Structure 1
Amino acid sequence: MSSLCYWLLLLLVHFSRSTSRATAGKVSAFIVFGDSTVDTGNNNFIPTIAKANFPPYGRDFNGGVATGRFSNGRLVTDFISEAFGLPSTLPAYLDPSYTIDQLAKGVSFASGATGLDDLTAKFTSVIPLGQQLEYFEEYKARLEAAKGESVASEIIAEAVYIFSIGTNDFILNYFTLPVRPVQYTPAEYVGYLVSLAEAAARDAYHLGARKFGLCGLPPFGCLPLSRTRNHREPGECNEEYNQLAMRFNAELQDAVTKLNGDLAGVLVVYVDIYSVLSDIVANPSDYG
């Protein structure tokens, strides 16, 4: 099963057919927080070097246009939006060309190179997760002004929310900058990041969100940068990094269980990225 199909299957099953803990069979909008995996162009509108608005980015997008997506074409979240019967491309919140009526069906607040840890965002001058949540609060107010409080509340409650974030906290922060390694052991830093992810979900809940997907980390020890930095086995996956990703994912799953137990009327699911990308790395020919 491809990574895209896996995402679609998990989200559609949990959210479109949920009958017990969230509104059944109805998704009003698809709302996204995170990093470059889900940034549909917000970094185009902020002063940062972390941009994807030039070739070869976007070479397979409609018209071959680099939109600010860190991809050759659409992102997985674009395909998921389309699968929910929503727009086939998810707007970036900071793009002034979109109206609130267009944003009402879905929006990405994500920012490439950001992380759960504010220090990660500061390193490349991108949008921290806390600011993304502030934009979401602003978005909610804009919806209320445009559509009335009742309709806006319905959109917010029946939307699906995805958080895809965390890899940069290790790659661009912990294993690059000197600050966090002095303050935390690797295991402690994992716990710190998971606590931030849980807090962000709670903040979104208090703003009206009810249906969440929290994405785990990929095997980031197999990313090109990690392979390059692997001085013990040049060119190979860094298994120390992968072990941290697995530890993060295990603790995030515990946080998901806690959120489902603590918050009334919420449905939170864990989205497994690790096993899917591990299979792609191990069996690349199966994926073309």
Structure 2
Amino acid sequence: MNNLAEQLGIKEYVPAYLDPHLQPSELLTGVSFASGASGFDPQTAQIVSVLSMSDQLNLFKEYIGKVKGMVGEERTNFILSNSIYLVLSGSDDLANTYFTVGIRKLQYDINSYTDLVVNYASDFVKELYQLGAKRIGLFGAAPIGCLPSQRTLAGGELRVCSEIYNQAAQLMNSKLSSAITSYNNSLNDPKARIVYTDIYNPLLNIILNHDKYGFSVADKGCCGTGNLEASIGTRIEFAIKERHPHGSKSSAIYFASALQLNTELTV
């Protein structure tokens, strides 16, 4: 989000809506309602005690009321319809709720579970549109089988990417793409542009060809041993370690670095 906002010349940093130090003027140029490790499946947020997607929509409704109080209804409607909305969720539904914790495995096979998640995602996008959003970008799931934790749990002794997990992400992405495209085409609204954005393939390309993009390690996380550890409040998708060319210094480059590179490759 920050990378895109900066590239569009809007602002360098998109603040959290719940930031206690948020200035009212920030509401007019963009805020974030995201809650790390949440998902379209309500169970995903409950597992790690974060805000659900429904909670985030309720905050967005509150936001609309605040903006109306600042600039009036007409200007608010203009802001809502001309803003860009980015929705990045779903990876934790698969990686955590389905595969790692396994709470949904007792109820669904992977085909029916991805149907469930896509239905939740579609409902979320529809409600966002009904609240006034016109330009919505829904990102698909990442290659979750290549996350450090999933490599450790399902990648065998060599900690390779789990093909089963990645295939699940691809299955869900295929369904998401079809559902979002169908919904966009069904709208009789020339101003609406609701699109699915693939991040699976660009990110997988960076992981598998990390040397090409200047990274030396693509299978370690940022915390502890880098193989498994995670904590509430730390969203570890995958971290890539880059070593100083002279070998005297090393630094961790987190998921955001790869996402920024992905944005530069696809925008």
In structure 2, runs of 5+ residues without a counterpart are 215-267
Aligned residues, how many?
Answer: 212
- Give the CA deviation at 1:100: 2.5
Structure 1 residues 171-210: aligned runs within 5 Å:
171-210=95-134
1:277 equivalent in alignment to 2:206: no
What SS is found at the alignment partner of 1:213? Answer: strand
Alpha-carbon offset, residue 178 of structure 1: 4.1
* Counterparts in 2 of 1:207 and 1:89: CA distance versus 1, 3 Å: same
TM-score normalised over the length of structure 2: 0.77
Q: Does 1:78 align with 2:2?
A: yes
Return the alpha-carbon distance in structure 1 between the equivalents of residues 31 and 187 of structure 2: 24
Q: Which moved more, 1:155-164 or 1:100-109?
A: 100-109
Q: Does 1:95 align with 2:34?
A: no
Q: Which amino acid aligns with 1:170?
A: L
Structure 1 residues 178 and 274, CA gap change in structure 2 (3 angstroms): closer
One-letter amino acid matched to 1:260: N
**TM, length-normalised to structure 1:** 0.71
Is contact 1:91–1:103 with CA below 8 Å preserved after alignment? no
* AA partner of residue 53 (structure 2): L
- Say whether residues 1:136 and 2:60 are aligned partners: yes
Cα-Cα RMSD: 1.2
Do the aligned residues in 2 keep the contact of 1:260 with 1:268 (CA within 8 Å)? yes
Asked whether the equivalents of residues 88 and 139 of structure 2 are also in contact (C-alpha less than 8 Å), the reply is yes
* Conserved 8 A contact 1:160-1:212: yes
Provide the residue aligned with 1:211 in structure 2: 135
Please tell me the residue identity of whatever aligns with 2:194.
Answer: V
Question: Greater CA radius of gyration, 1 or 2?
Answer: 2
Aligned match of 1:16: none
Specify the alignment match of 1:10 in structure 2.
none
Task: Please say if residues 216 and 271 of structure 1, whose CA atoms lie closer than 8 Å, have aligned partners that are also in contact.
Answer: yes
C-alpha displacement of 1:255:
0.9
Counterpart AA for 2:210 = P
The higher-RCO structure (CA 8 Å, 6+ apart) is 1
Gaps of 5+ in 1: 1-76
